[in-house]
A = this chain, B = another copy of it.
Amino acid sequence: MEVKWINQGGVTSARGFKAAGVAAGIKSGSKKDMALVMSECEALVGATFTSNQVKAAPVKLSMQHAKKGKVRAVVFNSGNANACTGLRGIRDAQATAATTAEKLNIRKSEVLVCSTGRIGVPLPLAKIKRGVGKLARKLTSNGGKVAAKAIMTTDTYVKECAVKVEIDGREIIIGGMAKGAGMIHPDMATMLCCITTDAALDLPTLRRATSDAVEQSFNRISVDGDTSTNDTVFVLSNGMAMSGTLTRSHADFAKFQAALNRVMSHLARLIIEDGEGITKVVELTVKGAASNADAKRVAEAIARSPLVKTSWCGNDPNWGRLMDVIGYSGSKVREDMVDIYYNGIAAAKGGLASNTPMSRLRKEVRRSSFAITIDLHLGLGSYWLLINDLTELYVTLNKGE
């Protein structure tokens, strides 16, 4: 498909996008806590929001604004989620959008708002407004990294990337940034993600491409089974590469989708690798299920099992705990048909211990990243998830004292 990585790429790699990140005083010290991404011209937007019924104020506002399909800027703050803040929260999110619009000389409805941080605490609006002023002054076409830094919460590193691909014989760029770390479970992770592209797409195509890519990336990662109030993915397309407008029937559309999937998958993987306190990344595949839904049930039950996840942290190839979870997952199961593999090496065959020595299996589980495949041998249903282990450090980081 000739999708090529751009070295040090990010949310400002695509033509016509600027960004900035500043310390607005929401977080203590001089930590960066606000970011702004802006398109020089009108951009179309595809968006996916948390499925949580309890939605943060910025999510509610951004859902309205994204519905219109045309935007110019996305303003972010970390340190405060502006969730469970009622009418005041909505007014604060509106004021954030209004201030941003004023400083950038655009319409309020062209501004999307993202917040991440503690739930239930009102937004410090005066600080936010001053922060927006600073951001507007600092916007630059190489501001991607500093913006990516400013949206971090418990993340230990910046998450950004960009790719290029040829559409209609012209090079288009897709780049983006994300934050994650905790409260990560499909649909979707506690994460914010903003992707920009200078390709041109019609709005229905952009929207569908966005949700298709999210389904194969951010909806396939789980750190702790908790779906947040603030999860948001935006894809902004401004057409500044001057390639033709992509529709689903365009000859190069598949290339674009592959490139977008690549960017989102990479950012999702970065989130999992930076999961709070983790030591292991596990690629879990469930196959041979009676249906895809059954395969998903098994995968998600495993992603939520503290006993399974702690065993990985202890380098323990404890396939018995996997059998236990498979059994209570609610999926159709025949115990004597189940095979379990670590990196392709059989731990259990037909529901029984294989003759692989434990020491051999332990070698695989010691790796910082390994694959577990579960074959239920009942049908063609399959599902995969990217997950990690549960460690003492996860608990320590989330105790909040």
Contact across chains for A400 and B314 when beta carbons are under 8 A apart: yes
Binary contact track A330-353/B, C-beta < 8 Å → 1, others 0: 000101100000000000101111
Contact across chains for A348 and B120 when beta carbons are under 8 A apart: yes
CB of A315 to closest CB in B, whole Å: 5
Instruction: Give the nearest-CB partner of A312 in chain B.
Output: B399
The interface stretch among A49-57, A64-72, A107-115 is: A49-57
- Tell me if A391 is interfacial: C-beta within 8 Å of chain B: yes
Binary contact track A290-316/B, C-beta < 8 Å → 1, others 0: 000000000000001111001101111
Q: List chain B residues, Cβ under 8 A from A400.
A: 310-311, 314, 316, 318
18 contacts between A and B (CB under 8 A): A55-B327, A55-B335, A83-B324, A84-B320, A84-B351, A86-B336, A120-B353, A182-B307, A227-B324, A229-B323, A229-B324, A310-B394, A310-B399, A310-B400, A313-B395, A315-B401, A316-B399, A318-B400
Instruction: Give the nearest-CB partner of A53 in chain B.
Output: B327
Contact across chains for A390 and B395 when beta carbons are under 8 A apart: yes
Binary contact track A346-368/B, C-beta < 8 Å → 1, others 0: 00101111000000000000000
- Tell me if A387 is interfacial: C-beta within 8 Å of chain B: no
Contact across chains for A226 and B398 when beta carbons are under 8 A apart: no
CB of A190 to closest CB in B, whole Å: 9
Q: A307-B398, A314-B398, A395-B313 are in contact. Are A54 and B225 (CB under 8 A)?
A: no
Contact across chains for A324 and B395 when beta carbons are under 8 A apart: no
Q: Of B311, B394, B398, which contacts A399 at CB under 8 A?
A: B311
Interface size on A, residues (CB 8 A): 60
Q: List chain B residues, Cβ under 8 A from A53.
A: 326-328, 333, 335
Alpha-carbon distance between A336 and B87 when the two chains are bound, in angstroms: 10
Q: Of B85, B182, B306, which contacts A390 at CB under 8 A?
A: B306
Q: List chain B residues, Cβ under 8 A from A399.
A: 310-311, 313-314, 316
Alpha-carbon distance between A395 and B85 when the two chains are bound, in angstroms: 34
Instruction: Give the nearest-CB partner of A326 in chain B.
Output: B54
Contact across chains for A54 and B324 when beta carbons are under 8 A apart: yes
- Tell me if A183 is interfacial: C-beta within 8 Å of chain B: yes
- Tell me if A325 is interfacial: C-beta within 8 Å of chain B: yes
Given contacts A53-B327, A84-B320, A84-B348, 20 further A-B contacts (CB under 8 A): A52-B327, A53-B333, A54-B324, A55-B335, A86-B352, A118-B320, A120-B319, A120-B323, A120-B353, A225-B305, A225-B306, A228-B324, A229-B327, A310-B398, A311-B398, A314-B398, A314-B401, A318-B400, A392-B392, A394-B395
